[in-house]
A and B are shown apart, each in its own frame.
Chain A
């Protein structure tokens, strides 16, 4: 399924969207937001990999060399196509080895889902991946 928000993803998985987020007030602001974004993306990905009809939760099987694990890739370089310095670029897949920061937690069953996550939740990825300017 494809949640349109973090709250929607929580609803699908039966989580309380307010209670599930930790208090990060003791953390440096930029780090706290990055951790919150990571947590929200983990929940969103979990919901996306959940089949509401069968109640089955898909998780990548890294021992299955035929199974594609899709991740969104982002363009970090400022140019005419990318004035903000952060945009979804493409979805790519791994088989048994990954360079993805999220590993099993931020990968998807197919390219369409990876693209959906990368384009719908771009700001969450940005907050997790981009260091704020000093």
Chain B
């Protein structure tokens, strides 16, 4: 399965995409998009992994994560946010993202990073 949209990921799990998102209007404005994006990405991520659980004690299971370039550059990164590369870990894993946003296949990470770049940006970049 290659879920492309949040709606497709919701369909995969039987969620109603119109009801599953919380009202974040009481949250500070600069973080509202981040809260929504984080929730969407968690559902999308789970769909990519097709309900398979990340097992940190499984030495044969690769856990893929992304590097993100946050430095603005006039040619290579004019917006100040771009996917930079992928890496994986096995069990000697010291993580900042844990099981929620790591992928079991590199192609899924690359696919998600490409198609959901704006959600990753909303989650990681503070805008006023």
Using a CB–CB cutoff of 8 Å, the interface residues on chain A facing chain B are 15, 19-24, 26-28, 31-32, 34-35, 38-39, 42-43, 46, 59-60, 62-63, 65, 71-78, 85-86, 89-90, 96-106, 125, 128-131, 133-134
Contacts and interface: CB of A to CB of B under 8 A. Distances in A.
23 contacts: A19-B26, A22-B24, A27-B20, A27-B22, A35-B38, A39-B35, A42-B34, A62-B71, A62-B80, A63-B80, A65-B71, A73-B95, A97-B69, A98-B68, A99-B66, A99-B67, A100-B124, A101-B98, A101-B123, A102-B123, A128-B100, A129-B100, A133-B53
Contacts of A23: 22-23
Nearest to A65: B71
B97 interface: yes
Contact of B70 (A85, A103, A129): A103
B6 to A, nearest CB: 13
The 3 closest A-B pairs by CB, nearest first: A103-B124, A129-B98, A62-B70
A90 B92 CA distance: 13
B22 A76 contact: no
A75 B93 contact: yes
Given A72-B96, A99-B66, A105-B34, A63 B72 contact: yes
Contacts of A26: 19-20, 22
Interface in B28-86: 28, 31, 34-35, 38-39, 42-43, 53-54, 56-57, 65-72, 80, 84
A29 B5 CA distance: 22
A99 B97 contact: yes
Contact of A134 (B53, B57, B87, B91): B53
